[in-house]
Chains A and B, each alone.
Chain A
Amino acid sequence: MFAVTTIAILVAMMLALGRALLGPTLYDRILAVNTFGTITVLFIAIFGFLTGRPEFLDIALVYALINFITTIAVLKFFEYGDMGRSSLEQQESDI
Chain B
Amino acid sequence: MPVASISVSDTPLLRYTLRRADDALILGHRLSEWCGHAPMLEEDMALANMGLDLIGQARSLYAYAARVEAAGRDEDAYAYLRDVRGYGNLLLVEQPNGDFAQTMLRQFLYSAFIDPWWRAMMDSTDATLAAIAAKAEKESAYHLRHASEWVVRLGDGTQESHRRAQAALDALWPFTGEMFEVDPSERELIAEGVAIEPESLRAGWCETVASVLAQATLAVPQNDWMQKGGRNGHHTEHLGHLLSELQYLQRSFPGAVW
- The answer on A and B forming one complex is no
Residues of B whose CB lies within 8 Å of any CB of A are: none
